[in-house]
Structure 1
């Protein structure tokens, strides 16, 4: 009898996350922060001694959400911070590749995102208005990353991403940081937004 292919990943917390049917109980913020601080944006094609990671990007998106909606509630900001959390498991695929993979990949990503949201007390899916705002912040972040780190001229970037026109945009400067510093900054922001990342029963076990 053929051996069933393994469909789970063991995390450093000791959790075994089922990739096909992820449980919120197997998701820990330390695993997310650790993973996102090691996943490079732009397939690593960025300037600097350190990769610009998904954790850095997530911090930027939360900052941009506040620029777009200064009175955003903590839970809305937390949703922005966690908008790419599934990438701690599946990595950061560039948008053209996601499109090529099609709906199965999108469904897989959506299931994992819903489990993350439930784990940290958020609705499985953001309300449509919030989802739209996070997407706008995400696309604005791509402008800053493209022009400051990925070698795009402003004219090139304008073909794909919206130009930032909000107050304070000119003051945003990106500087990739070491992995440990980015992970710590992500966890600190999570805690400041009221995120409950305490490990549940069994975390840290043999798995």
Structure 2
């Protein structure tokens, strides 16, 4: 069987830029920061179950702005693997351990490609949880206390309504500000 054909019909996805992303060998895939930004901007958080489209790209830009400046780049890139694997709802993710293995493989490849220092500092996780509390308050109908955000206060700022195009542009702009040539 032709190797190119196997990869196209195998565990691959076609990226925005026209190349294929291989889930078995993500380091060998020709993905760019534009592919990452596009995928994140088109991916709605909360499985799309919020008032309006709110993308992973927008979430990531906000995280990069609320963490200490020395962690801003890691904050921007913390969910970058979701450009390929999507933003799976946490309750479903915990039921699918194989998904987590794939997600971690993709994350490692993305972090290597864009020189994201690892491990991520605890400030990223804390900012992510506070942002989740903020997003729940502003984007969801339900005000139940979620176990994951227990004891965390939402941040005191209004989440603007960005289109996917604006989220992509803002993500790329922030990447250019923070990356120091990591692309």
Q: Same fold (TM over 0.5)?
A: yes
* Contact 1:24–1:118 (8 Å) recurs in 2: no
Using the TM superposition, give the Cα deviation of residue 85 of structure 1 relative to its aligned residue in structure 2, in angstroms: 0.9
C-alpha separation between the residues in 1 aligned to 2:92 and 2:180?
32
* Contact 2:77–2:116 (8 Å) recurs in 1: no
C-alpha separation between the residues in 2 aligned to 1:86 and 1:184?
18
Structure 1 residue runs of 5 or longer lacking an equivalent are: 67-71, 199-207
State the superposition RMSD in angstroms: 2.2
RCO higher in structure (CA 8 A, sep ≥6): 1
1:151 aligns with 2:141: yes
Which residue of the partner structure matches residue 175 of structure 1? 160
* Contact 1:11–1:17 (8 Å) recurs in 2: yes
Partner residue of 1:141 out of 131, 134, 144: 131
* Contact 2:22–2:29 (8 Å) recurs in 1: no
Runs of at least 4 residues of structure 1 off by over 4 A? Answer: none
C-alpha separation between the residues in 2 aligned to 1:90 and 1:196?
25
Partner residue of 2:54 out of 48, 52, 55: 52
* Contact 2:129–2:152 (8 Å) recurs in 1: no
Structure 2 residue runs of 5 or longer lacking an equivalent are: none
In the superposition, the TM-score normalised over structure 1's length comes to: 0.77
Which residue of the partner structure matches residue 80 of structure 1? 75
In the superposition, the TM-score normalised over structure 2's length comes to: 0.86
Q: Return the index of the structure with the highest Cα Rg.
A: 1
Q: Deviations over 1:108-131 (max 9, x none)?
A: 1111111111111224x325xx1x
Flag the 1:159–1:6 CA change in 2: closer, same or farther, 3 A.
closer
- Provide the aligned length of Structure 1 versus Structure 2: 177
Partner residue of 1:99 out of 94, 97, 113: 94
* Contact 1:56–1:176 (8 Å) recurs in 2: no
